Amino acid sequence: MSGVVVVAGYALRESVRRRVFAVVLLLTLLFLGLFAFATAKVFESSGDFTVGRDIGTLDATGLVASTMLGLAMFAILFLATVLAVFLTLGAVRGDAERGLLQPLVVRPLGRTSLLLGRFAAAASVCAVYVALVYAATTLIVHQASDRWPDAIVGPGLALMGASAVIVALALLGSVFLSATANGIVTFMLFGAGLVAGLMQSIADGIGSHSLGQIAHTIAIALPFEALYQAGLHALTADQSGFTGALIQLGPFGSSHAGGPGLDLWALAYVALALAIAAWGFARRDL
């Protein structure tokens, strides 16, 4: 266990010293600034939209607040994916090709500990990052709308779980693929998850059960997408009526409830990915 902690500390120190966090912080502040500006502008427009139009029970503020939170969820997942991929894409094969790994691997700590240390570091960084940006965007929307999402903690945890899944996948890829190939594959998997979400929206829209099944299967095969959908769903779980229907037309179109089964599956998925990575790493000649 101490070996895992040492490697995790080493990986975190590397990120700090390479100014990874400084760059990420700078770009995230830029993103949050733009998000705050856009949110303020959108609420100005939505105020104009409600004046003079009597369209029944539409909660325009709630609709806009939910839409902005949904967009924030997508942006956070994307940014966390970028962070996860760049923290892990060359963790094994890339570092071995550069000669960085060999001096570490011959130490008594063992390859599995090394792998778990890298996972712990990257997953922790992503989790903290997701939590901070999620909290910031939620506060920005609250500041502009005086509304809180229907669930606050659950969606954040779902995003953190999604980022951990992506870290595990990128780490698994780093055992078998070169850094460049691994980065491409991981982003393509992320894209496949997005496509599954779009397919789900289309399936719901046209009422296609088989398309919905395909989308659901992909989301389960790539549980970061299922967790993301569950997080989105929890954000607006209490919205109903005309407003709830409209929300489903926006970025929440693909949202679906998760539940404890999904959480357990995501946990098992991460454990399986790490187990395969450890198996592959143990067999790799360096």
Partner 1 sequence: MDPALSVTALRKAYGRTTALDGVDLEIGAGELVGLLGPNGAGKSTLVKIACGLVRPSGGNAAVCGAPAGSREARRALGYLAELFRFPGWARAEEVLALHQRLAGSNGGAAERAALLEQVDLLHARDRRVEAMSKGMQQRLGLAQALIGGPRLLLLDEPTSALDPVGRRMVRELLERLRGQGVAVLLNSHLLSEVELVCDRVAILVDGQVVAAGRPSELVHAGGVEIETAGGVRRFAQASREQVPELVADLVRDGERIYGVRVVTSSLEEAYLDAVGDQQEGAA
User: Minimum distance between the CB of residue 15 and partner 1, rounded to whole angstroms?
Assistant: 10
Question: Using CA atoms, how far apart are residues 240 and 229, in angstroms rounded to an integer?
Answer: 18
Q: Say if CB 185 and CB 173 are below 8 A apart.
A: yes
Q: Which is nearer to partner 1, 19 or 53 (CB)?
A: 19
- Nearest partner of 231 among 208, 203, 199, 263, judged by Cα: 263
Q: Which is nearer to partner 1, 14 or 48 (CB)?
A: 14
Question: Using CA atoms, how far apart are residues 273 and 286, in angstroms rounded to an integer?
Answer: 21
| Rg, the chain, Cα only | 21
Q: Residue 238 phi/psi, 5° resolution?
A: -95, 0
CA angle 194, 195, 197 (to 5 degrees): 65
User: Minimum distance between the CB of residue 138 and partner 1, rounded to whole angstroms?
Assistant: 35
Q: Say if CB 150 and CB 233 are below 8 A apart.
A: no
User: Minimum distance between the CB of residue 23 and partner 1, rounded to whole angstroms?
Assistant: 14
- Chain positions contacting partner 1, by CB under 8 A: 2-3, 6-7, 10, 14, 17-18, 98-100, 102-110, 283, 285-286
Q: Which is nearer to partner 1, 109 or 181 (CB)?
A: 109
User: Minimum distance between the CB of residue 105 and partner 1, rounded to whole angstroms?
Assistant: 6
Biggest alpha carbon–alpha carbon distance for the chain: 73
Q: Which is nearer to partner 1, 209 or 283 (CB)?
A: 283
Q: Which is nearer to partner 1, 91 or 162 (CB)?
A: 91
User: Minimum distance between the CB of residue 156 and partner 1, rounded to whole angstroms?
Assistant: 32
User: Minimum distance between the CB of residue 207 and partner 1, rounded to whole angstroms?
Assistant: 54
Q: Of all residues in the chain, what percent are helix, strand and coil, respectively (each to 5)?
A: 80, 0, 20
Question: Using CA atoms, how far apart are residues 67 and 236, in angstroms rounded to an integer?
Answer: 10
User: Minimum distance between the CB of residue 102 and partner 1, rounded to whole angstroms?
Assistant: 5
Q: Which is nearer to partner 1, 41 or 98 (CB)?
A: 98
Q: Which is nearer to partner 1, 188 or 282 (CB)?
A: 282
| Angle between helices 223-235 and 209-221 in degrees, nearest 10 | 110
Q: The tokens 């970025």 sit on which residue?
A: 251
